[in-house]
Amino acid sequence: MRFTKFTRLGALTCAVVAVLSACGGTKHAGVKTPAKGATPTTNPAAAPLTGLPDPGGTASKRCAVTVKIDNTQAGHPKYGVDQADVVYEEVVEGGLTRLAAIFNSHDPDRVGPVRSVRKTDQSLVWPIGGVFAYSGGAQYAIDSINTAPVVQLDENRAGPLMFRDHSRDPPFNLYAHVNFMYGKCGKPVPPPPLFTYRAKGAAVAGVPTATVRVGFLGDFAVTWTWDGVNHTWKRSIFGDPETVASGTQLAPKNVVVMFVPYVGGDPRHDNIGAEAVLTGHGTAVVFTAGKEILGTWSRPDKNKPAQLLDAAGNVIALTPGQTWVELPDTGYDLTKTP
């Protein structure tokens, strides 16, 4: 991984990068407790996948629904992604990217375009179970998702829970009724938290950052720009701000960049069958509350989500709200401006 800078970063950031480079190959034998003011989402009054208030208990009474979604220009505009709790962006063949959007707090009627499964997906959904919705896929990818503890809904099994919009060209015209998919919920209910969230008013460590560019290949590079008014990270791709069909710009509260190796294919070229290795540990960079926190991710057990740790080994707490998790290959660039 290379940290290429638009402008010169301060000495503090450089020092942290040096620390991470030195510890990148070590195991986290003793993970420290969250920093003061950080609150794990075990609070029954909080939605498990966002840490936001859940006063009616809606999120705690249903499973997670994960939907595979197209991420090419031909598939724009997307529907419903702005209502996901967590979104993963993964590398697929030819250096393209695809999304796995996880829903629990909201129940959009139209999500998509729905696309096919990949081998990385089983590792993404293993800790949360629930429903996994996709259009279909190659046999090797289907064999992979068959190992995960999820209720599968592909186009053949979903029935009226998916539909084709014939005003758009296939394969970019398949959509999911997520609001009805909760009726097919698998265990666990509710899904376990994927992150730890800060308590309201808690201090945030890190270096102020205005813009970050995640260097996926070609036009698939993504830029996130801090919006200090709304306290969100605004997303741009293909050279323009990305808006969903409603006109809303995608703007999560947190962006987590986990650098991961892809095996089974070259992520720069024709990597059909490649899979992100999401167990073990690696470098992570967290962008939250307008700041950058350098650290590592650690996931020794596929049954549990990855932990995000700062340079001192403390759990990194996120802002309650939507989180995007970027999964670039370890050889991709990350660039940012303070």
**pLDDT tier for residue 50 given thresholds of 50, 70 and 90:** very high
Note the pLDDT of residue 228: 97
| Mean pLDDT computed over 166-179 | 97
**pLDDT tier for residue 44 given thresholds of 50, 70 and 90:** low
Is the pLDDT reported for residue 160 higher than 70? Answer: yes
**pLDDT tier for residue 269 given thresholds of 50, 70 and 90:** low
Between the alpha carbon of residue 306 and those of residues 82, 99, 209, 288, the distances in Å are: 23, 18, 24, 17
Q: Taking the domains of the chain in order of start, what are their residue ranges?
A: 2-42+194-337, 59-184
Is the pLDDT reported for residue 200 higher than 90? Answer: no
What is the per-residue pLDDT across 71-115, written as a single tens digit (0 to 9) for each?
A: 999 999 999 999 999 999 999 988 899 999 999 999 999 999 999
The lowest-confidence range among 1-10, 162-171, 320-329 is 1-10
Between the alpha carbon of residue 284 and those of residues 27, 50, 123, 316, the distances in Å are: 14, 20, 18, 10
Tell me which architecture the domain covering 59-184 has in CATH: 3-Layer(bba) Sandwich (3.50)
Closest CA to 309 of 195, 214, 192, 193: 195
Buried b (16+ CB within 10 A) or exposed e, 268-307: eeebeebbbebeebbbbbbbbbbebbbbbbbbeeeeebbb
Is the pLDDT reported for residue 10 higher than 60? Answer: no
Q: Give the 3-state secondary structure of residue 63.
A: coil
In the numeric block, which tokens belong to residue 110? Answer: 């139209």
Is the pLDDT reported for residue 37 higher than 60? Answer: no
Closest CA to 105 of 182, 20, 196, 201: 182
What is the per-residue pLDDT across 297-306, written as a single tens digit (0 to 9) for each?
A: 999 999 999 9
The DSSP element (H or E) to which 296 belongs, if any, is: strand 291-299
Note the pLDDT of residue 214: 98
Q: Give the 3-state secondary structure of residue 256.
A: strand
Cα–Cα distance measured from residue 24 to residue 234, given in angstroms and rounded to the nearest whole number: 30
Is the pLDDT reported for residue 5 higher than 80? Answer: no
**pLDDT tier for residue 272 given thresholds of 50, 70 and 90:** low
Is the pLDDT reported for residue 19 higher than 50? Answer: no
| Mean pLDDT computed over 219-227 | 97
The lowest-confidence range among 49-58, 122-131, 263-272, 284-293 is 263-272
Cα–Cα distance measured from residue 216 to residue 230, given in angstroms and rounded to the nearest whole number: 26
Note the pLDDT of residue 338: 85
Residue 112 and residue 176 in contact, taking contact as beta carbons nearer than 8 Å = yes
**Cis peptide bond prior to 190, omega within 30° of 0:** yes
Note the pLDDT of residue 13: 37
| 3-state percent helix, strand, coil for the chain, nearest multiple of 5 | 15, 35, 50
